[in-house]
Amino acid sequence: MLSETNTMTIPGFSEWRETPQGRYILDWEQARLDVLLADVFGFHALQLGMPERNFLRANRIPMRAILAPHAPAPVRCALTHLPIAAQSVDLVVLPHVLEFHPEPHQILREVERILIPEGRLFILGFNPFSLWGLRQRLPHRPGDFPWNGQYLSILRLKDWLNLLNLELDRGAFGCYAPPCRSERWLQRWRFLEKAGDRWWGFAGSVYLVRAVKRVCGMRLILPAWNSHSLAKILTPVPHKKPADRADEHG
C-alpha cells in the first residue's frame, strides 16, 4: 500500500492552505463541517485525505482517524484499498479527494463497502460552474493546487453515488468571491456571499454534500384479502350422508 504514497500527494496544497485563497476556502468548509458533524453519532469516523487539516475536530464519535497515502496522516494507506472491515464505519469525510485522485470511482466503492447501513458520507469539492471553475478551465492556468484537479459537478457526483446506493440528501454551496490572491481583494468581494446564497446559490466556488448509504430490505408481500373473499374461502363444504350417496347411485 505504501508504495503508492509518493504518487498520491496533492502538489501545492500544503503551501496553498496558508495563502489568503486557502484560508478563505478552508475556513468556510471547516465552519460548515463543524456544525454538521457535531450531531453525527456512532462508533467509528474516518477522514480520507488532506491530513494537514482535521475536518473531524467537532465530531464526538470516540474512534476518529485520518487516513491518507502520505504524511502527516496517522494511518498511511492507499485510498483505493482501505484496510478497514466492511460495514464498520459510521461516518466518512472526503475533503477534495475525488477531483484530485486518478481513481475516484474506486474510492467511492471502498467508502460504500466500509460504511454501515444508514452511514453518513460528507464530500467537499470545487464547483466547475463557478468563477473558480472558470479560472480552472482557462489557458495558462497554474499547475498546482487547486487548479490541477478534475472538478466534478453535483449532477455527475449524484449519478456516481446513486450507482452505489448512496443517496445524496443534503448540500450547500459557498465562497462566491473570485479567486483573488490577496486578502484585501477577497475582503472587497465579501458582499457576494449573501447575494450568492440568495440569487445564484449554485455558483459557489465549493460545495459540501451529504450522502446516506441506503440498503434495500426484503419485505414479504401478501395478497390483499378482504373480509368478503376471506369469508367465501372459509365457507364450509357440506358433507353428504351415506344414504344420500346410495340414492345417487340408484
> What are the tens digits of pLDDT across the range 50-73?
999 999 999 999 999 999 998 889
- Looking at residue 7, its pLDDT comes to 42
Query: What pLDDT score does 228 carry?
Result: 52
pTM of the model: 0.81
CA distance linking residue 88 with residue 24, whole number of Å: 34
Average pLDDT on 118-125 reads 97
Measured distance CA(157)–CA(105) in Å, rounded: 10
- The domain covering 2-217 belongs, at the CATH homologous superfamily level, to Vaccinia Virus protein VP39 (3.40.50.150)
pLDDT band at 140 (very low <50, low <70, confident <90, very high): confident
Q: Reduced to 3 states, what is the DSSP secondary structure of residue 219?
A: coil
In this model, does residue 248 exceed pLDDT 60?
no
Instruction: Output the pLDDT for position 157.
Output: 96
pLDDT confidence bin for 146, thresholds 50/70/90: very high
For all residues of the chain together, what is the average pLDDT? 85
Nearest 5°: the CA angle 141, 147, 150 is: 120
Q: Decide if pLDDT at 189 tops 80.
A: yes
Annotated domain spans of the chain: 2-217
Q: What is the mean pLDDT of residues 168-191?
A: 89
Helix (H, G, I), strand (E, B) or coil at 47: strand
Range 108-125 average pLDDT: 97
Owner of C-alpha cell 467537499: 124
Residue 3 confidence (pLDDT) above 50: no
Residues 43, 63 contacting (CB under 8 angstroms) = yes
| CB-neighbour burial class of residue 204 (10 A; exposed 0-12, middle 13-18, buried 19+) | buried
Predicted pLDDT at 202: 84
Instruction: Find out whether 69 and 90 touch, Cβ atoms under 8 Å.
Output: no
Q: Look at 143 and 16; give whichever has higher pLDDT.
A: 16
Q: Give the model's pLDDT for residue 234.
A: 47
Q: Tell me, what's the pLDDT at 170?
A: 87
What are the CA-CA distances from residue 32 to residues 18, 124, 175, 217, 236 (Å)?
A: 19, 11, 12, 33, 69
